Amino acid sequence: MSSAVSAAEEGNARRFWIKSRKESILALYTPFVVCLASGGLRLDAFQHYVAQDAYFLKAFAQAYELAGECADDDDAKVAIGDLRKSVLEELKMHNSFVQEWGSDLAEENALNSTVKYTDFLLATASGKVEGVKGPGKLATPFERTKIAAYTLGAMTPCMRLYAFIGKEIQALLDTNDSSHLYNKWIENYSSESFQASALQNEDLLDKLSVSLTGEELDIIEKLYHQAMRLEIEFFLAQPLTQQTVVPLLKEHNPEEHHLMIFSDFDLTCTVVDSSAILAEIAIVTAPKSEQNVLENQIARMPSADLRNSWGVLSGQYTEEYEQCIESILLTEKAESFYYDGLSKALEELSEFEKRANARVIESEVLKGLNFEDIKRAGERLILQDGCTGFFQSIINNENLNANVHVLSYCWCGDLIRSALSSGKASRSRRFESCHSNPSSRKEELHTFCGRQAWKHESETLPKDTSTKEKVRRNLAVFRESEPALFSVDIFFIHTLLLNRAGGLHALNVHANEFTYEGSLSTGEIIKKVESPIDKVRAFSELQQSTNDRKNVTVYIGDSVGDLLCLLKADVGIVVGSSSSLRRVGSHFGVSFVPLFPGLVQKQKECVDGSSSNWRGLSGILYTVSSWAEIHAFILGS
């Protein structure tokens, strides 16, 4: 189906597949699929997989037969019969694999993950579905047709997933090279006939579900997603005895290793740039005229003047930024990766960014913004799908020795903290805002800590060693950041609050900060991270702060300002499609490689007993279309 098809024209099957995007990526990035795609999957592992898949196909054939008995439409019965014939043909192909590789399907017992799916499918086809009458109570043909729809709901995702995986792998193959060990398997699942069969399943599911109620469609959607999860479990359960490059943290030992995740914020985590959000807050909350400014408030320009000022600043920034990029591209093009040349060129961009910030401060357009308005805007900020879930998975995993750092040009760190801890404990957000501007909030900070201390008197520190270690690491970070201000007691309360609150408060935000008078911004900015040079300096300092362990650094970014950090990290991941990032990077010899093909290539190079060899300054950056890919690569399923 074309991606241009409108939501109104899309069928239920298409809608379910789109909602399962993350699960499809998790399946694609499993060790088994990556090894198979590389051509280096060991033969015994493939033989085992073929034997297990045969159980799936036999269950499919039986489920189609049961679904055909439930269908009350002759066309549907014929369509189901055709699909059953396709499965039987696929079983013949499996038998040809057996003959070619010399294994015996009969000798293989079904894995638990195989049994879980086949039992689930056959139970569904027999009418044993939660919230549905038992098969013996389905009196009318219409009621029995629902079972056919439910059965297709449990089968369609598997067909679509295999069609997706087949196409993704086939796209990596050289059409003139037939030496790939599993070329026959790839040809089958990427073939037009199999793609058509997957589409036929989807069309039939749409037809069978057209007269169902919303509640009944919810049942199908639940079955669809359950089938996807069981397919992922099936791929993960395939036994491998070889070195694999996924997931990145497969060999992570918290006693020896340290994972450092770095991420940009604007347009990496967000859908809209934070400067636009702050501009909107300023304009919406500004007085209509100078006479409307109340006594004791910070004087602000009227909203109409403010809107004009923002328009001028924005236009000037865009024009000068583009001029700066073009100026960089006029330099001599590097014949190979040239980090030093790139770093030198980005000094020009850094000076431009600082001049632009100085203009914003001088214009006073950020003057008089209320902290509560900023916090609310952050809580409502739309983030990239999967971003916070990924951070949450890192922070909550007790088996990881990991830190997450956000490095951003954003003018207001409070906006970032509010956005990334949206819906969580507001007292910790307030505490962090005190920490971000200690010179003006020292007294409030101590008062706040005093009020909170009694609430935690009866609480004991975590008993498990790994959580205690996290508390100690957080303590050290805050002590180093403001040694003159924070006492050990305040450290303790801050760390305790962060750990008790849950959420994303354990994120370390490195950004510029507003200064405040009371709860209103003064228009001044505490400048911490203004430019590409500032970013890479902060990155390097943080990277060097944990030399006692084996560091693995991952940087996630989307713009030219992230280039130096992306390249210095062991793994640099580019989100989005910034043309200026690619133009500047390519000018200095940087290669941009889609992540999945990059991992397949890494797997080809992987030799048993060797490390995955992720090292910075390789000149290679990996591109992704979603945070689901990042999650699948680093954490797996």
- Active-site positions? 158, 231
CA distances from 403 to 260, 270, 362, 504 (A): 5, 20, 36, 11
CA distances from 70 to 125, 212, 311 (A): 9, 15, 64
Measure the CA–CA gap between 292 and 288, rounded to whole angstroms: 7
Measure the CA–CA gap between 464 and 528, rounded to whole angstroms: 36
**CA 555 from centre of chain:** 13
From the number of C-beta atoms within 10 Å of its C-beta (0-12, 13-18, 19+), residue 624 rates as buried
Element (H, E) at 556: strand 550-557
Contact 545, 559 (CB under 8 A): no
Q: In one letter, which amino acid is 636? A: G
DSSP H helices, 39-111, are 43-70, 74-101
**CA 358 from centre of chain:** 34
CA distances from 281 to 16, 250, 285, 372, 632 (A): 37, 44, 6, 11, 36
Measure the CA–CA gap between 582 and 621, rounded to whole angstroms: 10
Measure the CA–CA gap between 262 and 269, rounded to whole angstroms: 12
Q: In one letter, which amino acid is 280? A: E
Measure the CA–CA gap between 597 and 593, rounded to whole angstroms: 7
Q: Ramachandran region of residue 626, left (φ > 0), alpha (ψ -120 to 50) or beta? A: beta
Contact 507, 432 (CB under 8 A): no
- The token pair that represents 21 in the structure block: 């995007």
Closest CA to 203 of 54, 62, 60, 75: 75
State the Cα torsion 430-433-435-440 to the nearest 10°: -110
Measure the CA–CA gap between 219 and 212, rounded to whole angstroms: 10
Q: Phi first, then psi: what are they for 517, rounded to 5°?
A: -115, 110
Q: Phi first, then psi: what are they for 620, rounded to 5°?
A: -115, 130
In a 3-state reduction of DSSP, which class is residue 607?
A: coil
From the number of C-beta atoms within 10 Å of its C-beta (0-12, 13-18, 19+), residue 3 rates as exposed
Collect all residues with Cβ–Cβ distance below 8 Å to 440 and sequence separation of at least 6. 515, 516, 517
Contact 476, 431 (CB under 8 A): no
